[in-house]
A and B are shown apart, each in its own frame.
Chain A
Amino acid sequence: MTATSTVAPILLEARALTFYRQDEPVFGPLDFSLRAGEVALVEGDNGSGKTTLLRMLAGLLHIEEGELQWRGRPWRRDEHLGDTLFLGHHLGLKSDLSARENLNVAVGLYGNRCGRGVDDVLRDIGLAGYEDEPVRRLSAGQKKRAALARLLLLPATLWLLDEPYANLDRTGIDLVNRLLTEHSSSGGAALVTSHGAVSFLHGEPKRVRMHA
């Protein structure tokens, strides 16, 4: 843990978080905390419940056992909404709409982070020239980039990224790392799951292991 993260306030804290599917334990009890400015890597084998954990933290699955604190208070879904961005296996893009139209809907729902325009962000994310192409005609990597554009555009403190590196080329991976670095340096936090080797720019990331 670096010197800056020890003074930063704890954003998210999980105590004995456990998840059961039909009475079979999927993961847990899990204890971890995430401070402002921290990026944590969720580690575990296939089926160990990484995606389930992120869906739970996003507020899609309800917490049956264990405790979750958000900014020092018990976690409540309606307080948490809008302060969290979830990027799942399903990218949440409408294939008949263009990347620009998809992002405009997202801005309408979530608001805008810092007044940056959609076109500006699309250029930044490497989709210049593809703004008006229907998403279904984009490649898998380009779709991923269109979904990642939400991270730049929408306001949120906590990012929950499920496999953000999948389908991306080398520059795409660098892009995700850059986004994460910028986000953490501006006081945000992120939980990231990944199978592949991840090279965060700032040395070793914090790790959350699904199995003790």
Chain B
Amino acid sequence: MSLAPLTPACVAVLRRDLTLAWRRRGDIVMPVLYALIVTTLFPFALGPENALLQRIAGGVVLMTMLLAMLLALDAMFRSDIEDGSLEQLMLSPQPLALMMGMKILAHWITTALPLIVIAPLLAGMLHLPTAVMPVLIYALLLATPLLSLLGAVLVALTAGSRRSGMLLALMLLPLCVPVVIFAAGAVAAAQQGLPWLAPIAWLGAALAMALVLAPLACAAALRIALDA
């Protein structure tokens, strides 16, 4: 009798979630299309004035990404709870927090990464200067995993409840305030030619903390959610 070592277990969970996402690639495209359409609507609503769009570009892209991620967040553990695979995951002789970390990573790869890929396109549509583009990407690369991690904890907390979608948005959006402030702050600073490293470093610090704590909280919340 041999128990499964840690690395293959992590790989198994990660590969499973990525395969599942690939089998339903239509669902991956949805948030991307949503972000594209929302960004396109802004010039219609505010007028096609270059200076105005340039000023709001960073913030608009950031908020659009946040809302697009929120759309996909709800489904993070739903199917796993419904078909019993979460029970099997929890009863396996593996650290649940690490397995949750793998699930969050898979979720980030399938929802946030495609959004980051089209971010330059969206920002370009709003005339964000090319020189600021890398800062926007840095900010998104740090802010989106932070949102995935925070979101996962809240999804786990609301896992037992019926109407979790709206509740999730109401709980997550206030928590996003610091993320938005620092990410938008970095882009705005870069646009004005000011040093932008400090807000990026703050995002990095927050991400480091969330990487350690969020999977633990997520695992504990799911244990409680299934214990009912």
Chain A residues proximal to chain B, CB less than 8 Å:
58-62, 81-86, 88-97, 101, 104-114, 134, 155
- In addition to A81-B93, A90-B83, A97-B20, 13 A-B residue pairs with Cβ atoms within 8 Å of each other are A59-B91, A61-B227, A81-B92, A82-B92, A82-B93, A92-B84, A92-B87, A93-B85, A94-B16, A96-B19, A108-B4, A109-B13, A111-B4
Tell me whether B20 and A109 are in contact (CB under 8 A): no
| Interface residue tally on B, bucketed by range | 20 to 34
Enumerate 10 A-B pairs (CB-CB under 8 Å) in ascending A order. Answer: A60-B87, A60-B91, A92-B85, A94-B85, A96-B23, A101-B19, A105-B15, A109-B12, A111-B1, A113-B1
Chain B residues with CB under 8 Å of A94's CB are 16, 20, 79, 83, 85
Instruction: Annotate B109-133 by CB proximity to A: 1 below 8 A, 0 otherwise.
Output: 0000000000000000000000000
Which residues, 1 to 35 on B, are CB-close (under 8 Å) to A? Answer: 1-4, 8-9, 11-13, 15-16, 19-20, 23-24
Chain A residues with CB under 8 Å of B9's CB are 108-109
B82 to chain A minimum Cβ distance, whole angstroms, is 7
User: Which chain A residue has the least Cβ–Cβ distance from B88?
Assistant: A92
Tell me whether A96 and B20 are in contact (CB under 8 A): yes
Instruction: Given A108-B8, A109-B92, A110-B93, check contact A97 B16 (CB 8 Å).
Output: yes
Instruction: Annotate B186-228 by CB proximity to A: 1 below 8 A, 0 otherwise.
Output: 0000000000000000000000000000000000000000110
Tell me whether B3 and A111 are in contact (CB under 8 A): yes
How far apart sit A113 and B2, CA to CA, in the bound complex (Å)? 7
Q: Report which residue of A59, A86, A94, A106 has the largest number of chain B beta carbons within 10 angstroms of its beta carbon.
A: A94
Q: Report which residue of B2, B8, B93, B227 has the largest number of chain A beta carbons within 10 angstroms of its beta carbon.
A: B93
Chain B residues with CB under 8 Å of A62's CB are 227
Quick check: is B71 within 8 A (CB to CB) of the other chain? no
How far apart sit A111 and B92, CA to CA, in the bound complex (Å)? 9
B6 to chain A minimum Cβ distance, whole angstroms, is 10
Tell me whether A90 and B92 are in contact (CB under 8 A): no
User: Which chain B residue has the least Cβ–Cβ distance from A104?
Assistant: B12
User: Which chain A residue has the least Cβ–Cβ distance from B94?
Assistant: A109
User: Which chain B residue has the least Cβ–Cβ distance from A160?
Assistant: B91
Instruction: Annotate B60-100 by CB proximity to A: 1 below 8 A, 0 otherwise.
Output: 00000000000000000001001111011111111000010
How far apart sit A101 and B18, CA to CA, in the bound complex (Å)? 12
How far apart sit A93 and B86, CA to CA, in the bound complex (Å)? 10
Tell me whether A92 and B92 are in contact (CB under 8 A): no
B98 to chain A minimum Cβ distance, whole angstroms, is 11
Chain B residues proximal to chain A, CB less than 8 Å:
1-4, 8-9, 11-13, 15-16, 19-20, 23-24, 79, 82-85, 87-94, 99, 226-227
Instruction: Given A109-B13, A111-B4, check contact A96 B91 (CB 8 Å).
Output: no
Tell me whether B11 and A60 are in contact (CB under 8 A): no
Instruction: Given A92-B88, A112-B2, A155-B3, check contact A105 B13 (CB 8 Å).
Output: yes
User: Which chain B residue has the least Cβ–Cβ distance from A155?
Assistant: B1
Chain B residues with CB under 8 Å of A134's CB are 23
Tell me whether B227 and A91 are in contact (CB under 8 A): no
Tell me whether A82 and B12 are in contact (CB under 8 A): no
User: Which chain A residue has the least Cβ–Cβ distance from B5?
Assistant: A111
Instruction: Given A88-B84, A90-B84, A91-B83, check contact A107 B4 (CB 8 Å).
Output: yes
A109 in complex: contacting residue of B2, B23, B89, B227, CB < 8 Å: B89
How far apart sit A105 and B85, CA to CA, in the bound complex (Å)? 10
Chain B residues with CB under 8 Å of A90's CB are 82-84, 87
A68 to chain B minimum Cβ distance, whole angstroms, is 15
User: Which chain B residue has the least Cβ–Cβ distance from A111?
Assistant: B4
Instruction: Given A60-B227, A61-B227, check contact A93 B83 (CB 8 Å).
Output: yes
How far apart sit A97 and B27, CA to CA, in the bound complex (Å)? 16
Tell me whether A105 and B12 are in contact (CB under 8 A): yes
User: Which chain A residue has the least Cβ–Cβ distance from B228?
Assistant: A61
Instruction: Given A60-B87, A89-B84, A91-B84, check contact A110 B4 (CB 8 Å).
Output: yes
A97 in complex: contacting residue of B4, B19, B82, B227, CB < 8 Å: B19
Tell me whether B24 and A96 are in contact (CB under 8 A): yes
